[in-house]
Amino acid sequence: MAMTMKGEVELPADRETVWAKLNDPEVLKVCIPGCQSLEKTADNEMQAVAKVKVGPVSATFKGKVTLSDIDPPNGYRISGEGQGGIAGFAKGGARVALTSADVGTKLSYDVEAQVGGKIAQLGSRMIDGVAKKMADQFFSNFAEAVSPSATAI
């Protein structure tokens, strides 16, 4: 079930700050909806556990998250593949680009994701909506995390 999504958000912080936070597993862990753990396992590689609900299917995905095409502080590609047990699998990636903007930094993203198994069979009509909602949640969390008023994490 291939799904693509594009968007951009403006973040109230300079590019270096945004870049640093984008590379901080602790920040990502707090920002990713349903993320239960995110641990750095190697340079540019993390192990993640996230709980996701799509329509009637609720699953805990476990998998590897990899950063590539790293170009500080302009952007990277983040990709992952998770197994959700009998709920199926999810895999995908996002190209993230940072540019300076009036208010701080403009982050644009271009996501491509695929799901399979039960989550595709039962949730296919909801996938786009769920993905959009998760992206919105992530960026609203992330905006909060990078804003100057944020308490240090």
Partner 1 sequence: MGATGIGAAIPRKEDHRFITGKGRYVDDINRPGQAYAYFLRSPHAHAKINRIDTSAAQNAPGVVEVYTGDDIAADKVGGLICGWLIHSKDGSPMNAGPHPALAQGKVRYVGDHVAVVIADTLAQARDAAEKIEVDYEVLPAVIDLANAQSGAQIHDVAPNNVVYDWHLGDKAATDKAFASAKHVTKLQLVNNRLVPNPMEPRAAVGEYEEGTDSLVLYTTSQNPHVARLVLSAFIGLAPEHKFRVIAPDVGGGFGSKIFIYAEETICVWAARKIRRPVKWNCDRTEAFLCDAHGRDHVTHAELATDAEGKITGLRVSTKANLGAYLSTFASSVPTYLYVPLLSGQYNIPAIYGEVMALYTNTAPVDAYRGAGRPEATFVIERIVEMAARELNMDPAEFRRKNFVTQFPHQTPVIMCYDTGDYDASLKKAQEIHDIAGFASRKAKSESQGKLRGLGYSAYIEACGIAPSAAVGSLGAGVGLWESAEVRVNPIGTVEILTGSHSHGQGHETTFAQLVSDRLGIPIDNVSIVHGDTDKVQMGMGTYGSRSGAVGMSAIFKALDKIEVKAKKVAAHVLEASEGDIEFKDGKFAVKGTDKNADWGTIALQAYIAHKFNGQELEPGLKESAFWDPTNFTFPAGVHICELEVDPATGSTTIEKWTAVDDFGNLINPMIVEGQVHGGIAQGVGQALLEGAIYNEDGQLITASFMDYCMPRAHDVPSYQVGMTTTPCPSNPLGIKGCGEAGAIASPPAVINALTNALGHENLQMPATPERVWKAAQGARLRMAAE
Q: Which of 111, 118, 130, 135 binds partner 1 (CB under 8 A)?
A: 118
21 binds partner 1 (CB under 8 A): no
125 binds partner 1 (CB under 8 A): yes
Q: Which is nearer to partner 1, 89 or 109 (CB)?
A: 89
| Per CB under 8 A, 19 contacts partner 1 | no
Contact code string over 61-100 relative to partner 1, x by CB under 8 A:
----------------------x-xx-xx-----------
Q: Residues binding partner 1: what is the number (CB under 8 A)?
A: 17
Cβ of residue 77: shortest distance to partner 1, in angstroms?
A: 20
The yes or no reply on residue 122 touching partner 1 (CB under 8 A) is yes
Give dist(CA 22, CA 111) in Å, integer. Answer: 16
- Can you tell me which residue has the tokens 């996230």? 50
Residue 42 dihedral angles phi and psi, to the nearest 5°:
-160, 175
CA distance readout (Å), 90 to 2, 57, 84, 117, 145: 10, 13, 8, 9, 26
Kindly report whether the peptide bond that precedes residue 12 is cis, defined as omega within 30 degrees of 0: no
Q: In the chain, what are the helix, strand and coil shares in percent, each to the nearest 5?
A: 30, 50, 20
DSSP three-state, residue 148: coil
Q: Is 121 in the site for partner 1 (CB under 8 A)?
A: yes
Interface with partner 1 by CB under 8 A: which residues? 1-2, 83, 85-86, 88-89, 114-118, 120-122, 124-125
